[in-house]
Amino acid sequence: MVLDKPSPGSAAHVQAVQTGQLVTVQQQQSIPTLKEEQGLVNSTESWGRKRKRKGGPNPLSCLKKKKIQGQQQQKPAGEKKKRNHHRKRAGRGGLEVESIAQTEKD
């Protein structure tokens, strides 16, 4: 029968037990009380249920603030606003019309 060698972790654990480095039962029982004294334990018991806060007004029912007309940017009379030209998209019939127009020009 062939046995494998113990892993390094288990070998270290055996050595720790033999040398007495592990925590005893009495120490394990005293650890929670010591943590509470030091304030290291998060006391979840003190936290109650989160209260719902008062909500704000309904944004759909509120009026928007009016802009003051005196503060608007004044443009010189010589400059005009550029117009945006939008071309209509050619549908199925549009392509035929363009091809007919090109043949008439030729």
Count of CB atoms situated within 10 Å of the CB of 13: 14
**21 found inside a domain:** yes
| C-alpha dihedral (27, 30, 36, 38), degrees to nearest 10 | -50
Residue 25 in domain: yes
pTM: 0.26
What confidence tens digit (pLDDT) does each residue in 16-64 have? Answer: 888 777 778 888 899 889 888 887 766 656 667 888 888 988 989 988 8
Number of domains forming the structure of the chain: 1
Q: Which pLDDT score is estimated for 75?
A: 62
* 60 in a structural domain: no
Which residue from 47, 46, 20, 43 is spatially nearest to 32, judged by alpha carbons?
43
Asked if residue 15 is part of any domain, the answer here is: yes
Q: What is the pLDDT of the chain when averaged over all its residues? A: 78
State the average pLDDT over residues 77-94.
Answer: 76
pLDDT for the residue numbered 76? 64
Domain that holds residue 18: 7-40
